[in-house]
Homo-oligomer: A and B are copies of this chain.
Amino acid sequence: MRKTYIAGVLGAGRMGKIHIENILYNIPNLKLKAVADINRNDKLEKWANTIGVPKLISDASEIINDPEINMVVIASSTDTHTRFIQEVAKAKKDIFCEKPIDTDLKRIKETLEIVKEEGVKLMIGFNRRFDKNFKRVREMVSSGQVGIPQIVKVTARDPAPPSIEYIRSSGGMLFDMTIHDWDMARFQVGSEIEEVYAKGAVLVDPEIGKAGDIDTTVLILKFKNGALGMIDNSRQAVYGYDQRVEVFGSKGCAIADNEPLNTVRLYTSEKIKEDNIPYFFLQRYMDSYAAELRYFIECLQENKEPSPNGEDGFQNVVIAIAAQKSYEENRPVKISEIVI
Please give the residue numbers on chain A whose beta carbons come within 8 Å of chain B beta carbons, in ascending order: 25-26, 132-133, 136-137, 140, 145-148, 150-151, 153, 157, 197, 199, 201, 203-204, 216-220, 222, 226-230, 232, 234, 236-240, 242, 248, 250-277, 330-332
Contacts and interface: CB of A to CB of B under 8 A. Distances in A.
A136 B262 contact: yes
Given A201-B228, A237-B248, A220 B218 contact: yes
Nearest to A245: B264
A256 B264 CA distance: 4
A79 B267 CA distance: 38
A136 to B, nearest CB: 5
Contacts of A237: 248, 253, 267
Contacts of A230: 218, 230, 232
A275 B264 contact: no
Given A136-B275, A199-B220, A203-B226, A239 B267 contact: yes
Q: Could you say how many copies of this chain the assembly holds?
A: 4
A230 B232 CA distance: 9
Given A216-B228, A268-B145, A238 B250 contact: yes
Nearest to A255: B265
Which of A230, A240, A260 is packed against the most chain B CB atoms within 10 Å?
A230
Given A132-B262, A145-B268, 18 more contacts: A132-B261, A136-B262, A140-B266, A150-B201, A151-B218, A197-B332, A201-B222, A203-B227, A220-B220, A254-B264, A254-B265, A256-B264, A258-B263, A259-B263, A271-B273, A271-B275, A272-B273, A274-B274
Given A203-B227, A220-B199, A256 B262 contact: yes
Which of A199, A217, A331 is packed against the most chain B CB atoms within 10 Å?
A199
